[in-house]
C-alpha cells in the first residue's frame, strides 16, 4: 500500500499545471452534470446534463491521447444516442404522472441497492489497482490507438465486450416489449367509421377552409358564415384550445360595409353623370 501511495505521489508530481487545472475544472463540471442528471425533475433537463457530461469525458479522452475514444464519444454517444433520446422526449413528452408512477413495486429500493453494490465494486477495483504498473500513453499507443484498443477489446476484454453487446440487445428487446400494445378489438373500416359519425351526429362534410374571403388566409383566422359570424370548424382544435385564434369578424364586416358603400357611390355617380356619347354630341354642337 505504501508503494502504491508513493507511486501516486510520483505521478501527481509529474503532472503539469495545465493538466491539473483542466482536470479539476472539467472534473468538477462533469460531477455536477452527473448529479444534475440524477436529480433533475424533467427528463429533458436530465438528458442535456448527461450530454454535457459525455462531452467533458470526450475532452478527457482527447487530452490523454485516446483520439479514437474521444471522437466516438462525441459522434456516437453525444451526437447520436443522446440527441435521439432528447428529441424523442421532447416530441413525445413525459408528464408528471408518468414520472411519479411506480409500475413495479419496490423498484426504487432495488435500484438504490444495485447502485450501492456497483459503487462498492468500483471502489474495490480502483483500490486494488497497482499504480506502479502503468506504462504510460506512449507505450500503449505505440502500435496505434485504434489497433491497441481493438487488441484489448478482442483479446483481454472479449468476454466483457460480448456481455455488453448482449445487454444492449436485451435492452432493445425489452424496450420493444414494454412499448408494444396488443390490439384488443378489430380495426373498423371506413364505412363503419362513417356510420358511427352519422349516429353520433358529428359534422360529416369536409371542414371549410380558414380565412376571411380574399383578405385573410391565415390558419389562425376563422372563416365567416353567411351571417358574418366566425365558424369554429375552420380553425384547428389545437389553436382553439391554446387561445391562438384571431377574431377578425368585425373587421371583415366593416370592410364589407365599406365595399358596399363604395359600390353604391359608384352606381349613384354613373346614374348622375351623362353617358360619354351624350358628352361627345354636346361638345360637337
Tell me the fold of 17-94. Answer: 1.20.120
Distances (CA, A) of 172 to 37, 43, 82, 179: 22, 20, 15, 11
Which SS3 state, helix, strand or coil, does residue 40 take? coil
19 vs 100, which has greater pLDDT?
Answer: 19
> What is the C-alpha to C-alpha distance for residues 189 and 201, in angstroms, rounded to an integer?
19
pLDDT (0 to 100) of residue 93: 58
CA distances in angstroms from 279 to 9, 222, 268, listed in the order given: 114, 49, 18
pLDDT at 15: 66
Domain assignments of the chain as residue spans, ordered by start: 17-94, 208-273
Angle between helices 17-39 and 43-63 (to 10 degrees): 160
pLDDT tens digits for 161-215?
888 888 888 887 877 777 766 767 788 888 888 888 888 887 777 666 665 554 6
The full DSSP string for 68-97 is HHHHHIIIIIIIIIIHHHHHHHHHH---HH
Task: Please indicate whether residue 231 or residue 101 has the higher confidence score (pLDDT).
Answer: 231
Would you state the pLDDT for residue 31?
92
Q: What confidence tier does 1 reach under pLDDT thresholds 50, 70, 90? A: very low
**Percent of the chain scoring above 70 in pLDDT:** 67
d(CA 246, CA 278): 51
Average of per-residue pLDDT values in the chain: 74
103-112, 173-182, 190-199, 270-279: which range is least confident on average? Answer: 270-279
Amino acid at each position: 500500500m505504501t508503494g502504491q501511495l508513493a507511486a501516486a505521489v510520483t505521478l501527481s508530481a509529474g503532472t503539469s499545471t495545465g493538466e491539473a487545472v483542466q482536470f479539476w475544472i472539467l472534473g468538477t463540471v462533469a460531477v455536477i452534470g452527473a448529479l444534475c442528471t440524477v436529480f433533475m425533475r424533467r427528463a429533458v433537463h436530465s438528458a442535456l446534463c448527461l450530454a454535457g457530461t459525455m462531452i467533458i469525458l470526450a475532452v478527457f479522452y482527447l487530452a490523454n491521447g485516446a483520439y479514437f475514444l474521444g471522437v466516438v464519444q462525441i459522434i456516437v454517444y453525444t451526437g447520436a444516442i443522446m440527441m435521439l433520446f432528447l428529441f424523442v422526449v421532447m416530441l413525445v413528452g413525459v408528464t408528471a404522472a408518468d414520472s411519479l408512477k411506480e409500475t413495479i413495486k419496490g423498484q426504487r429500493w432495488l435500484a438504490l441497492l444495485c447502485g450501492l453494490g456497483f459503487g462498492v465494486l468500483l471502489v474495490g477495483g480502483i483500490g486494488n489497482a497497482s499504480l506502479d504498473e502503468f506504462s504510460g500513453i506512449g507505450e500503449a499507443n505505440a502500435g496505434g490507438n485504434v489497433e491497441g484498443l481493438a487488441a484489448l477489446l478482442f483479446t483481454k476484454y472479449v468476454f466483457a465486450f460480448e456481455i455488453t453487446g448482449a445487454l444492449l440487445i436485451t435492452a432493445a428487446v425489452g424496450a420493444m416489449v414494454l412499448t408494444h400494445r396488443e390490439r384488443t378489438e378489430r380495426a373498423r373500416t371506413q364505412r363503419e367509421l362513417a356510420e358511427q359519425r352519422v349516429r353520433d351526429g358529428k359534422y360529416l362534410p369536409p371542414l371549410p377552409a380558414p380565412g376571411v374571403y380574399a383578405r385573410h388566409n391565415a390558419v389562425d383566422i376563422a372563416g365567416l358564415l353567411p351571417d358574418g359570424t366566425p365558424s369554429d370548424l375552420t380553425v384547428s382544435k389545437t389553436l382553439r384550445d391554446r387561445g391562438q385564434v384571431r377574431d377578425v369578424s368585425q373587421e371583415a364586416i366593416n370592410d364589407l360595409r365599406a365595399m358596399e358603400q363604395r359600390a353604391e357611390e359608384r352606381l349613384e355617380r354613373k346614374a348622375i353623370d351623362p353617358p360619354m356619347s351624350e358628352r361627345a354630341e354636346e361638345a360637337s354642337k
